[in-house]
Amino acid sequence: MSPPASDLLSVKTIPGAGRGIIANCEISKDTTVLNSEPPVAHVLFREYRKEVCAHCFLYDRGRTLRVKDHDTGKVFCSASCRQGWVDYTGEQGRSAWRDLYHLIHMKNKGGKGSSGISLTDHRPGIEEIDRRWEKAQRGADEYVRTRSDTSNALGDTGRKQAKGALASSIDPDILGYLLSGILHHDQQPDRWREAVMTLAMHDEPYSTTHDLEAHCNSFVQLCSIMPVSLLRSCTIEVCRALAAASSHNAFGIRSGGEDGEEYMGYGVYPSASYFNHSCHPNVAKQRVGNVWRFWVTEDVRQGDELCISYLGGDEKDLNVRQRRGHLQEVWGFVLHHPVFDLDASKAIADWQWSGPPVREAAMST
Ligand SMILES: [Zn+2]
């Protein structure tokens, strides 16, 4: 379901403001207008890996959840969530998560942390991004060729090469985000193309060269450990699209729904990405398990644009400067307009996407 369409709403081009969601008819207050699908790619940050259910994202503060999948390290709030995750992920996907779990485990045993972010680092431009990904492709080609020639298991050569991939630092959050997207792509490549490739994409989504490097390394590392049958979806096109889509389309996964305290991860929910931002939103959202529900908070007329606030409910009392800072931090854009409280369609025309992707906000908190 992307872009969203129903009796209640449809996606239209808003003059000067890209796409937006328009009410097809009068809608009365509190009516649910959209239930999103589960994310096409998401990550629960590593520091929450023992406290957040991998299936329904339930958070039990400070407590290790009791149901564990020992092969993959995933935890669940209940046996039924575990079963739900196993069914959704499939045997092949589970095997890939197991391989990633082992990679991270081995790497941690080595005692090498990921390298730090240099203060003099810069935001890489498109040419630098292309060059770096071409290099990653050459590295990945080696693995793909060797591994496709042999069996599913890593042969001696494959093992040697996996060691090579381990020599560079790993980023479990990026690896997990990419793997979730790759698995989704592999399950439904046509639907994935329709849902993800039509989203607003950021051409230069990496906030630093370190971030770009980490994505490229993660791609090569995944090529080195991924079950051979999944290599068709572990491609540069998919990995680059996942980064490009996350900048503008990711929703934070927080412990209490929209305005909960803990920022535990983020996900891309394509059908939900068509709502524009307004400082006077007429739509509210709440996370319900691994999906989002959207409902109108006032009576809406036919032809009205339906807008959400990209700010969480807890920021309502912030002043303009604080709000602007928060939008930049979390959503990676700056609102270049003298007056922040604008009609959404005008405001959106003035947005310039310029900041870091969502995950940067998580790293700094
Ligand atoms: Zn659960």
CA of 50 to the centre of ligand 1 (A): 12
CA of 350 to the centre of ligand 1 (A): 40
pLDDT reported for residue 321:
52
ipTM above 0.85, yes or no: yes
CA of 51 to the centre of ligand 1 (A): 11
Q: How far apart are CA 23 and CA 107, in angstroms?
A: 51
Q: How many CA atoms lie within 13 A of 67 on its CB side?
A: 16
Q: How far apart are CA 251 and CA 292, in angstroms?
A: 10
CA of 160 to the centre of ligand 1 (A): 38
Chain segment 205-230, per-residue pLDDT in tens: 999 999 999 999 999 999 989 899 99
CA of 80 to the centre of ligand 1 (A): 8
Chain segment 144-201, per-residue pLDDT in tens: 877 776 554 555 554 554 555 557 789 999 999 999 999 999 999 999 999 999 898 9
> Who contacts 349 (Cβ-Cβ below 8 Å, separation ≥6)?
16, 17
Chain-wide mean pLDDT for the chain?
81
How many other C-beta atoms can be found within 10 angstroms of the C-beta atom of residue 305?
A: 22
**Most confident stretch, 3-7, 222-226, 316-320:** 222-226
Q: b/e string for 70-81 if b means 16 or more Cβ within 10 A?
A: eebbbbbbeeeb
Q: b/e string for 315-330 if b means 16 or more Cβ within 10 A?
A: eeeeeeeebbebbbeb
CB 333 within 8 A of CB 327: yes
> With bands split at pLDDT 50, 70 and 90, how would you rate the model's confidence at 109?
confident
CA of 45 to the centre of ligand 1 (A): 16
CA of 258 to the centre of ligand 1 (A): 18
Residues of the chain with CATH 2.170.270.10: 9-37+269-364
C-alpha dihedral (227, 231, 235, 238), degrees to nearest 10: -70
Residue 101 pLDDT greater than 80, yes or no: yes
Instruction: Identify the architecture of domain 9-37+269-364 in CATH.
Output: Beta Complex (2.170)
Helix axis angle, 126-149 relative to 209-225, nearest 10°? 10
CA of 83 to the centre of ligand 1 (A): 10
CA of 218 to the centre of ligand 1 (A): 28
Chain segment 129-144, per-residue pLDDT in tens: 999 999 999 888 887 8
Q: How far apart are CA 192 and CA 2, in angstroms?
A: 10
CB 300 within 8 A of CB 282: yes
Mark out the alpha helices in the chain (DSSP H runs).
79-110, 126-149, 156-167, 172-187, 189-196, 209-225, 236-249, 320-331, 344-350, 358-364
Residues 188, 95, 212: CA angle, nearest 5 degrees: 70
pLDDT reported for residue 348:
37
Q: How far apart are CA 52 and CA 65, in angstroms?
A: 7
CB 72 within 8 A of CB 90: no
pLDDT reported for residue 343:
37
DSSP 121-181: -----HHHHHHHHHHHHHHHHHHHHHHHHS-SS--HHHHHHHHHHHHS---HHHHHHHHHH
CB 275 within 8 A of CB 4: no
Residue 90 pLDDT greater than 70, yes or no: yes
Tokens 């790993």 label which residue? 170
Q: How far apart are CA 143 and CA 164, in angstroms?
A: 10
